[in-house]
Structure formats: structure tokens, C-alpha cells
Amino acid sequence: MGINTGTYHNIGNSYEKGSNAALLSAIARSAEELTSGKGWPDGVHDLLETLGRTTGVSRVWIFQTIKITETHITQNYTFEWAAAPKHKQLGMPMFSMFTNAIDRPGYRDLIQSRMRGEWQKVVTDQLEQDWLRDNLEAQKIKSMLTIPIIVEDEWWGTLGFDDCDRAYDWSDVEIALLKTAGDLISNAVLRDRLSAKRKQFAILKQLTASSVWEFDFNTGQIWCSPEVLHSVPVPTDNIRFSLHNALRLIHQGDRRKLITAAKIYMKGSLERVFRFDMRLFTDCGDLRWVELIGNIRKNKNGRPTQLAGILIDISQRKREEDRLREEAVTDPLTGVTNRRMFEHKLQEHIDYSVNEGRIFSLLFFDIDRFKQLNDTYGHQVGDKGLCHVTKVCEKILRPNDTLARLGGDEFALILPETDENTVRKIGERIRRKIEATRFKTKGKEYSLTVSVGLATSEGQLTTPARIIETADVALYQAKQTGRNKVVSLTECCSKG
């Protein structure tokens, strides 16, 4: 005897309509259509028709569960096959995105039963006279079978069989076979979701480097697609790690923070989606900023089974954030601290001085006759002069000193652990160096001088405004007494 082969399209057509063999072969044909043929949603329409014609019922339908609260349930009538036009209900307003209260006797129990994945069958004239019998009789339904569609452990919807001609009592074998049809629909939903996610991920990968990842709580294994982990794109399969090895890919400064954030999320953070920015080593040892995004899945007992999501390369975003952060605290022309950050740092130094009894000094200076320089030679020369003064000062400053441009030609210098005698020496060095150093622009050389005012705080209680005013008064005195000099408040008081 030779080998016989064939497809599933015509198998079982010779079986008696309504027999278990006919039903099983119909499900087999539909399975092939759903998985390798039309898929979702066209394959579902065909499945309902096949099941309806094979079982001989009046109507096969699917209600999708949209939302469930403690008091109400919202459903939508999404699919239907009807044996005759008189049985058609799809499109009726009463079944289009409809909401029902679940406080009717027995209805809450029915909902909870479906949420547990349990089937229900009824013969209408055997029911007590209640809301369910009234509802079925209004639709001229003599018997009904419903099978929950469970997707990823959640009640996604209901597969229903209405018979308006027979008071039919479904057998256990028939119910088991039709449960298989419900599973096929569940798999079709999952395949559709996966297809949508793949399309979304493909678009995302076009916009930025990104990888899919998943952590299995049962095995302790992590798998990740290779895109973000490779410096140069290479065709390769997904990469698997133990949790220990995966943590080694994360920058040491981010590991403990990641673990802490993950524990907080898993303990019931209000955030549904877990997000964490971290530095990741690529296969070449380069550091790359990535955003870890994921959500957790739990079993029916509430135990976590899987944490999965995507990794997105955010290196460019981090560079942009650093640039914006730098611009927020930096003078754009000279590159030194701006007034806003100066005031913040000054308050920090005052607080430290008062709390710890430490000394610090403040040095104010501006360029002599700067307006005249601008008016005579133009703002470009004036800007060059400001940058020249900045460069001269930076060569003199210590690592912990803070140089700031307050606006125009006004500069300030915060000097921690610096007494009045030392700040005077530093002020003189700056004044002499600027006077002795010329700057060149457009083939011409220019010279500048500065006037300097000093103030010192020795741990006494003060405010930024008060110490700024002290240094400003000394600067004003330097201007009034000839410019190109360093003056402290002590000198102002002794001469007053």
C-alpha cells in the first residue's frame, strides 16, 4: 500500500453532520486556517461558520470583554455567524459596546465563573423564571453553550452557541472539542498581538537601536535580542544569560540602583510599567545609555512569573540632556557658571560656613570702561574681551573655586577656605595678569584692566544678598578711587 498524503481542507467532509468526528475534523481544518492561512480576523469568521454548520446551531458568536468593575461589565459583540438572516444579531445597538450591571441575582456568579475559564450550558425551558430565562426567551434561544476565551490568564471574551430550534443538551465530548475551538481563538488573539508588537518594534528599531528582553522567574534566565548589546549590527540569535552574568553587563554604579528600583516595583509600585535608565556595556566594552522598560506578569496566585519588555538606546538623549543641563547652569559666551547657578552655590557655601564654622570669600570684579570698548570697537571685540578675562582667571583658580559671569562685564568668584589676606592676593594676581596680558582679534591687540571688590564670611549668619552687597560696595569703591585696583570692605570702612 502506498503512502497517502493531503491537506486538511477537505478532510472529514464525509462524516455525518453533527457527529463528534465531523466536529473534530472541522476544528482541525479551522486550526490550519487560523495558524497558517487567513489568521486573524478572517480565519475567525471562517471558524465560526465551520462550527455553526457542523453543530447545526442557529448562531455562533463572540463577545469581547472590554472592562470589568465591581459593579458593571462592558462587552462588545465582535464576531457572529448566523444560519439564517432571522438569527442575525451583529450590528444591533443593544449588543454594540454595551454595559450591564452585575448585581442581578446569579449574574455575578456567571461572570466569575467565566473569569475562571468555566463553560456554561443551559436549556431555556429548564431554567427558573428569572432575568436569564427572560433574556433568552426574548431572543428565542432554546439552548445555549458558552465557552470563555482565556488569553494570557485573563478572560478575553466568550465563544457562544445559540440554538433557536432545539433544546439541545451538549455532551461532555462536544464541550471538550469546542473548548479546543476557544483555545484556537485565544492563540489567534495572541498571534495578532504578537504581530502588532513586531510591527511596532520594527518601527521602533528604525528610529533607534532597541532590543527585546525577558526574565523568567522560574529559571532565573534572561534572554535578550542582540541589537543594543552589539556595537556593530550583526545577524545573530537571541542571547541568553544567567541573572548574574546579565548584571555584569550593567555599569557598577547602576546595578544596586536597578535592583532597588525593581524590588520597589515588584512590591506593588503604583507604576504599571517599570522604567529605569542605566549604562550598559556592549560586546566591545563601550558604555551605552539604555532605558529599560518592562512590565510584570503574574500567575493566578499572584506570584511573578515573567518580567519582560524592551531596551532602548538613549545615548543621544542623554547627551542632549547633558547639553541642556550644562546650558541651564552655564554662561553661553564664556562657558563659566551663570548667575542662576552662582546664587545656588553661594547659598550652599553660606550654609556650610554657618553650620561648620568655616571661612570663605567672595570676589567681585568687572572690566574697566567696558562700555567704551564696546561702543568704540563693537560687540565682537567686547565678547572676545570677556572670553579673554575668563581664560586668564581659569588659569589662576583652584579646583574648588567657582567663577561666574553675572551679566554684562560683571564676574564673581567664590573661594572656599579662603581668608581676607589670601583673597586679596588672589584678587591682585587676577588684576595684574589681566593688565599684563593682551588679547588679539582681527589683527589688532587690546588691553584690559579690572576693578575688584572683596568680601569674607567667617561663619557668621548672613544671606546671599548681604554678602553680595558687601563685595559690590568694595567694587564700587575701587571704581571711585581710580579703577584697576583691589578693594576690601575693611578698607572702605577705614577710609570712611
Per-position DSSP letters for 229-255, written without gaps between them:
T-SS------EEEEHHHHHHTB-HHHH
Mark whether 335 and 312 lie in a shared domain.
no
- Yes or no: say if 314 and 289 are a contact pair by the CB < 8 Å rule: yes
Per-residue pLDDT, 130:
87
- pLDDT over threshold 50, residue 15: no
Q: What is the CATH number of the domain that holds 72?
A: 3.30.450.40
Tens of pLDDT, residue by residue over 38-74, are: 767 778 888 888 889 888 999 999 999 999 999 999 9
Q: Return d(Cα 148, Cα 184) in angstroms, integer.
A: 12
Q: Residue 167's closest CA among 141, 147, 146?
A: 141
- Which of 294, 319, 344 is a domain's end point? 319
- pLDDT over threshold 90, residue 210: no
Number of structural domains, the chain?
3
Omega prior to 464 cis, within 30 of 0? no
Per-residue pLDDT, 29:
65
Decide if 201 is inside a domain.
no
| Average pLDDT over every residue of 157-170 | 94
- pLDDT over threshold 80, residue 34: no
Q: What Cα–Cα distance (Å) separates residue 261 from each residue in 216, 304, 315, 496? A: 18, 16, 21, 61
Mark whether 383 and 488 lie in a shared domain.
yes
Amino acid identity, position 98: F
Name the residue with higher pLDDT: 197 or 157. 157
Per-residue pLDDT, 8:
40
Name the residue with higher pLDDT: 81 or 105. 81
Strand, helix or coil for residue 15: coil
Q: What is the largest CA-CA distance in the chain?
A: 125
- Yes or no: say if 459 and 353 are a contact pair by the CB < 8 Å rule: yes
Mark whether 178 and 276 lie in a shared domain.
no
Per-residue pLDDT, 395:
94
Q: What is the CATH number of the domain that holds 228?
A: 3.30.450.20
Per-residue pLDDT, 225:
82
Q: Return d(Cα 62, Cα 285) in angstroms, integer.
A: 53
> What letters, b where the CB count within 10 A reaches 16 and e where it falls short, cover 69-87?
eeeebebebbbbbbbeeeb
Per-residue pLDDT, 232:
59
Mark whether 226 and 375 lie in a shared domain.
no
Q: Which three cell numbers stand for residue 187?
A: 492563540
Q: Return d(Cα 19, Cα 306) in angstroms, integer.
A: 42
| Average pLDDT over every residue of 322-344 | 92
For the chain, what is the mean pLDDT? 86
Tens of pLDDT, residue by residue over 165-174, are: 999 998 888 8
Tens of pLDDT, residue by residue over 227-257, are: 777 765 555 567 888 888 889 999 999 999 9
Torsion sign (Cα): 13, 15, 20, 25: negative
Q: Which three cell numbers stand for residue 177?
A: 472539542
Decide if 314 is inside a domain.
yes
Supply the angle between the helices 172-207 and 42-55 in degrees, to the nearest 10.
180
Torsion angle of the four alpha carbons 144, 148, 149, 155, in this order, in degrees rounded to the nearest 10:
140
| Average pLDDT over every residue of 443-457 | 95
Decide if 257 is inside a domain.
yes
Mark whether 36 and 177 lie in a shared domain.
yes
Mark whether 310 and 413 lie in a shared domain.
no
Strand, helix or coil for residue 447: coil
- Which of 191, 224, 257 is a domain's end point? 191
Torsion angle of the four alpha carbons 18, 22, 24, 26, in this order, in degrees rounded to the nearest 10:
-100
Tens of pLDDT, residue by residue over 270-322, are: 568 899 999 999 888 889 999 999 988 888 788 888 888 888 889 989 999 98
- pLDDT over threshold 70, residue 139: yes
Per-residue pLDDT, 235:
55
Mark whether 362 and 311 lie in a shared domain.
no
Q: Residue 405 belongs to what domain range? A: 331-495
Mark whether 343 and 439 lie in a shared domain.
yes
Tens of pLDDT, residue by residue over 354-363, are: 999 999 999 9
> What letters, b where the CB count within 10 A reaches 16 and e where it falls short, cover 185-217?
bbebbeeeeeeeeeeebeeebeeebbbbbbbeb
| Average pLDDT over every residue of 145-168 | 93
Q: Return d(Cα 415, Cα 426) in angstroms, integer.
A: 9
Torsion sign (Cα): 335, 339, 341, 347: positive
- Yes or no: say if 464 and 439 are a contact pair by the CB < 8 Å rule: no
Torsion sign (Cα): 28, 31, 32, 37: positive
- pLDDT over threshold 50, residue 12: no
Mark whether 164 and 214 lie in a shared domain.
no
Per-residue pLDDT, 205:
62
- Which of 266, 298, 319 is a domain's end point? 319
Per-residue pLDDT, 11:
45
Decide if 349 is inside a domain.
yes
H helix runs in 56-144, sequence order: 107-115, 131-138
H helix runs in 79-130, sequence order: 107-115
Per-residue pLDDT, 427:
96
- pLDDT over threshold 60, residue 17: no
Q: What is the CATH number of the domain that holds 412?
A: 3.30.70.270
407: left (phi over 0), alpha (psi -120 to 50) or beta: left
Per-residue pLDDT, 14:
45
Mark whether 94 and 174 lie in a shared domain.
yes
Mark whether 234 and 260 lie in a shared domain.
yes
Per-residue pLDDT, 98:
86
Strand, helix or coil for residue 145: strand
Decide if 164 is inside a domain.
yes
